[in-house]
Amino acid sequence: MARLTIYKSDQCLPCKKLVPIIRKNARAKGDKVKVVDIDSCKSKECTEVSYTPTILRDGKKLKDSELEAYLK
């Protein structure tokens, strides 16, 4: 079982489309999902996010190709 952390913003159009798909896929695989809204987050980890959506799997940032493979 993997742990996914998804950093998203309400103003991010790709986030609005991708986050529900990623959540559904992760739950189907039995993975744990945590969604963090960087607009209201005050922690250091949120200030280090340079773009949204940013997805971490077990603490490691996923590249686009890795996310695509995960979603298949």
Residue ranges and CATH numbers for the domains of the chain are 3-63 (3.40.30.10)
Instruction: Express each pLDDT in 17-38 by its tens digit.
Output: 999 999 999 999 999 999 999 9
Question: Would you say residue 54 has pLDDT above 90?
Answer: yes
pLDDT score for 51 = 87
Burial class of residue 55 (count of CB atoms within 10 Å of its CB; 0-12, 13-18, 19+): buried
pLDDT score for 46 = 86
Q: Look up tokens 């971490």; give the residue.
A: 56
Closest CA to 5 of 38, 72, 42, 69: 38
Residues above pLDDT 90, as percent of the chain: 75
Mean pLDDT of 41-55: 88
Q: At what angle do helices 13-28 and 64-71 cross, to 10 degrees?
A: 50
Are residues 6 and 19 in contact, defined by beta-carbon separation less than 8 angstroms? Answer: yes
